[in-house]
Amino acid sequence: MSAPAIELRDVRKSFGPTEIIRGVNLAIPRGERHAVIGPNGAGKTTLFNLISGRFPISSGTITVNGKSTAGLPPQEINRLGLSRSFQITSIFPRMTVFENIRCGLLWSRGYRYSFWHLLGGQKALNAEVDRLLDRLKLGDRRNVQAGLLSYAEQRALEIGITIAGGADIILLDEPTAGMSHSETDAAVELIRGVSEGKTLLMVEHDMSVVFGLADRISVLVYGEVIASDTPAAIRGNAAVQEAYLGTIAA
Amino acid sequence: MSLLRRNWLWLLALVVLLAFPFLFYDWAKGRHSGFALTLMSEIGVMAIFALSFNMLMGQAGLLSFGHAVLFGLGAYCAAHVVNLVKAGTIWLPTELVPLAGGLGGLFFGFVLGWLATKQRATAFAMITMGLGELVSAAALMFMGFFGGEGGITIDRVMDTSLLGVRYTSPWQVYCLVLAWAFIAAALMRLQTQTPLGRMANAARDNFERAQFVGYDPRRIRWIQFTLAGFFAGIGGGLYVLIYEIVTFDTVSAAKSANALLAVYIGGTGAFFGPILGTIVVVLLQSGVSLLSNAWLLYVGVLFIVMVMYAPIGLVGLIGLHAPIWRAGRLRELLLPYLRALPPALMVLLGFVLLVELTSFTTIGAAQGKHFAIAGRTIDTTSPLPWGIALVALGLGALWLRREARAFRLRWDALMEDAKRQAGAS
């Protein structure tokens, strides 16, 4: 049996005296679309930051594709095949849309720190970037400075940078936050498409997005996973109802 | 053919730069002006230096206060290599001496960069400042390598030229400087289009994002720093060939500041910005310093004015005209510019007069010099010149403000039109 794509064992994280993540156990099998939901301040984004190596964990273990991430900086966790997006849009604002995506591709295509390849001449690479831009529906914005894009376009670009390198584990932190209905629908289609055959872990507040996309859902409340199950089971779970969904549904 | 079409600007620049010294050619005696050639060689060297500084500042967002360390150490390495060649220990063509400087810069860039690039932003700037002081101090302590206050002298006539040139005349040296300046500038230009060059931009804009696409921002900074050292070292190697001496002021903070001034004044927005800035700074330094004791003050004031009113630099200011130029209406700005010219000159005149009067009552008097304009000595103690200066400054400023307002209106209207035109097409 192959190792889960992501596995957390008794993961804890404290900031000073405050314990934000309080013993999380979670295993996400390969190919699953998994959503993390929970009230504000439950620690969802912190959990993402721990998995992707932005912060070190206080105790416990995290494995990505079967390898422990203890002590690894973010770039090395990325090289294990895990890529993430950010809740607050994190792109390269002074570079063009095209270049943003290309930056996401360079490492995985083996260019590393090369100063002897001229990027203009890398036809296969540039064609790949253009294909991805079309998929993101950003083709006609190709040469625009990324900082000048509309909010929804920047969010699409953010997802684009995240998936460009072809990582098989994708972490999306509130990909549809702040979007209109139609923009959200487009984003869901995009996410569905790009996560095909990959492991997806996402934090999301929009319940229609969560229930529409996820194979399984984990509910995080005060730094603990109180339930982890299929959408149908989560909907019927009394503890979840009480802790979280009830307050919204009511 | 397409290569020619794409690089016509470079070729044009080369032709102009080769022809330019002939404007100062003394046809009666049949020889070049040594002053003009040395000045232009200095510009060439400093342009390489400023461009290499911009590899850090513009491309990677790293403000270094010690970039001259790499320039100077490259120069020392080149000087020692030349002396070894002269002594017959090793053989190296004169044309490749700058490369020896470059390799020296590369080595020290790698070593010092290891330390400096551990940090970014302010901490990086502080470390480079410390390294600058460290090497400056070392230059006076380690006699063997740095030669103390006297520095290291060389004789550039090595008779090892690949082209059979002896480099006895400034013209021959100038041609070598020009060749290397073009090679170095072209390589630095190409470097901006490599994966490392683009990722340096990316890490400058958002270093955390760069990490999450697989890159170590520190590694990016380190390699970029090392390469910047290589090009700074090439500049250092040429410096040695021009002046045949290298002293500790090549590694000094003042030298580092020169690159910073040139890049700020020229602007980081376009590749050629630092070159433009270098021309301005070197002309002020070498040209105006002959005319005025207060030349450093002019450099400082220019720097402050640029940082305050035009942080985008000279290329940025030129770039602002692009939309109007594309709309084909640049001509309509000619008159507003011409109208602003007299008051601007008046302000400049008033300011310069004031500065010179002040400088002649202090430094000038101490040196026993007299303030003279067009052969007429001016009495710095009489109120008349002071009054003229103040009036020119005051009236000029008022007039300039009026013209500036009119200019602004015209500019805004043209910009609006240009945008509408661009949007419609």
d(CA B183, CA B185): 6
> Scanning every residue of chain B, which has its alpha carbon at the shortest distance from the alpha carbon of A117?
B194
**Which pLDDT tens digit goes with each residue over B54-74?**
999 999 999 999 999 999 999
Among the partner residues A94, A114, A161, nearest to B213 by beta-carbon distance: A161
Count the domains in chain A.
1
Q: Is residue B92 part of a domain?
A: yes
ipTM (interface predicted TM)? 0.93
Q: Quick check: A148 contacting B, CB < 8 Å?
A: no
Q: Which residues of A touch B319 (CB under 8 A)?
A: none
Is A116 a member of any domain?
A: no
Residues B360 and B393 in one domain: yes
How high is the mean pLDDT of chain B? 93
Contacts of residue B279, defined as CB under 8 A and 6 or more positions apart, other chains included, come to: B43, B47
Interface A-B: count of C-beta contacts within 8 A: 97
CB contact under 8 Å between A106 and B199, yes or no, is yes
Read off the tokens for B125: 């700037």
Do B140 and B61 share a structural domain?
Answer: yes
Whether residue A238 is predicted with pLDDT greater than 90 in this model: the reply is no
- Judge: B213–A111 Cβ closer than 8 Å, yes or no: no
Q: Are residues B53 and B162 in the same domain?
A: yes
Distance from C-alpha of A72 to C-alpha of A95, rounded to nearest angstrom: 28
**Residue B88, pLDDT above cutoff 60:** yes
Is A153 a member of any domain? no
Residue B236: what residue type?
G
Whether residue B45 lies inside any domain: the answer is yes
Q: By the 8 A CB rule, do A162 and A170 touch?
A: yes
On whether both B190 and B249 belong to a single domain, the answer is: yes
This prediction's pTM: 0.93
Q: Is residue B133 part of a domain?
A: yes
Answer yes or no: is B28 within a domain: no
Domain that residue B106 falls in: 33-312
Q: Is B289 exposed, middle or buried (0-12, 13-18, 19+ CB in 10 A)?
A: middle
Judged against a pLDDT cut of 90, whether residue B6 lies above it is answered with: no
Contact residues on chain A for B208, CB-CB shorter than 8 A: 54, 74, 90
Range of the domain at A222: 6-91+167-249
- Substitution target in B3, B118, B190, B209 with the highest count of A β-carbons within 10 Å is B209
Contact A21, A11 (CB under 8 A): yes
A90/B191 CB distance under 8 A: no
Residue B378 confidence (pLDDT) above 90? no
Structurally, chain B folds into a number of domains equal to 2
Residues of A in contact with B187 (CB under 8 A): none
| Complete DSSP assignment for B53-65 | HHIIIIIH----S
pLDDT in tens, B192-227: 999 999 999 999 999 999 999 999 999 999 999 999
Q: How far apart are CA A146 and CA A236, in angstroms?
A: 43
Mark whether B275 and B192 lie in a shared domain: yes
B207 → chain A, closest CA residue = A92
Residue A141 lies in a domain: no
pLDDT exceeding 70 applies to what percent of chain B? 99
Does B201 sit within 8 Å of A111, measured CB to CB? no
Task: Estimate the share of chain A in helix, then strand, then coil, as percent rounded to the nearest 5.
Answer: 40, 25, 35
Contact flag A118-B190 (C-beta cutoff 8 Å): yes
Question: Residue B181: which of B398, B397, B336, B18 has the closest Cα?
Answer: B18
A90 touches B: beta carbon within 8 Å? yes
Q: What span, in angstroms and rounded, lies between the C-alpha atoms of B330 and B348? A: 26
DSSP state for residue B251 in the 8-state scheme: S
Query: Nearest Cβ partner of B214 from A93, A102, A165?
Result: A165
Best B212, B221, B230 residue to mutate vs chain A (most A CBs within 10 Å)? B212
Exposed, middle or buried, A183 (CB in 10 Å: 0-12/13-18/19+)? middle
SS3 for B150? helix
Q: Is B373 part of any domain? A: yes
With respect to residue A125, please indicate whether it lies within any of the assigned structural domains. Answer: no
Q: Please answer whether residues B417 and B347 qualify as being in contact, where contact means their C-beta atoms are separated by less than 8 angstroms.
A: no
Nearest to B201 among A95, A111, A117 (CB): A95
pLDDT at B193: 96
Judged by average pLDDT, the poorest of A1-5, A113-117, B170-174 is A1-5
Same domain, B330 and B365: yes
Q: Is residue B21, in this structure, part of any structural domain at all?
A: no
Q: CATH number of the domain at A50, please.
A: 3.40.50.300
B17 close contact with A: CB closer than 8 A: no
Q: Examine the pLDDT at B1 and tell me if it is beyond 60.
A: no
- Name which of A49, A50, A69, A75 to mutate to probe chain B: the one with the most chain B Cβ atoms within 10 A of its Cβ: A75
Tracing tokens 């015209």 back to the chain, one arrives at B410
Residue B10 lies in a domain: no
Residues B49 and B182 in one domain: yes
Is residue B23 in a domain? no
Q: What are the distances in angstroms from CA B151 to CA B41, B136, B145?
A: 21, 12, 9
Give the tens place of pLDDT for each residue, A147-195: 999 999 999 999 999 999 999 999 999 999 888 999 999 999 999 999 9
Q: Is the pLDDT of residue A78 over 50?
A: yes
Closest CA to B265 of B227, B219, B314: B314
Verify that B138 and B197 share a domain, yes or no.
yes
Indicate yes or no: CB of B194 within 8 angstroms of CB of A114: yes
Q: Chain A partners of B210 at a C-beta cutoff of 8 Å?
A: 103
Interface check for B2 against chain A (CB to CB < 8 A): the answer is no
**Would residue A210 count as lying in a domain?**
yes
Write the DSSP assignment of A140-187 as a string of letters: GGTTSBGGGS-HHHHHHHHHHHHHHT--SEEEEESTTTT--HHHHHHH
Question: Token pair for residue B78?
Answer: 């080149």
B227 touches chain A (CB under 8 A): yes
Task: Note whether A75 contacts B212, CB cutoff 8 Å.
Answer: yes
Residue B287 shares a structural domain with residue B333:
no
B308 in the same domain as B327: no
Q: Indicate which CATH number applies to the domain containing B171.
A: 1.10.3470
Same domain, B213 and B348: no
> Which residue from A75, A79, A92 is facing B205, i.e. has the nearest CB?
A92
